[in-house]
Structure 1
């Protein structure tokens, strides 16, 4: 599985493979990965705002 396909599945952009086995630990792992990707994206957005947008208005 490619990294972009996996990220798309975490963010509910692409449907997951129905033939793939589902275990409880895989659900936990995918949940943690989904959370970490979202927190990373929020942090990137905040950094862009603080380093680019705010200095433009000073």
Structure 2
């Protein structure tokens, strides 16, 4: 048995390193992605940003407006 517990801490739930890494990662200069791939990643980034903004708006409305 391992002495380390498998329980998640509160910091594990709010770890945004992978999300921020998706938005701000180094590009490989030798790889040239096609137009479709660029558009797909652009739409994914837009949808993630819109989702996060909507979550913030819902939390603010719930906490401060009523």
Q: Normalising by the residue count of structure 1, what TM-score does the alignment of the two structures yield?
A: 0.63
Larger radius of gyration: 2
Output the CA distance in 2 between the equivalents of 1:25 and 1:36. 16
Q: What secondary structure does 2:38 align onto?
A: helix
RMSD of aligned residue pairs (Cα, Å): 2.1
Q: What secondary structure does 1:14 align onto?
A: coil
Q: Normalising by the residue count of structure 2, what TM-score does the alignment of the two structures yield?
A: 0.57
Count residues with an aligned counterpart: 49
The equivalent of 1:8 in structure 2 is: 21
Q: Which runs of 5+ in 2 are unaligned?
A: 1-17
Post-superposition offset of 1:52: 1.2
Q: Which runs of 5+ in 1 are unaligned?
A: none
Structure with the bigger RCO (C-alpha within 8 Å, sep 6+) is 2
Runs of 4+ with >4 A deviation = 17-21
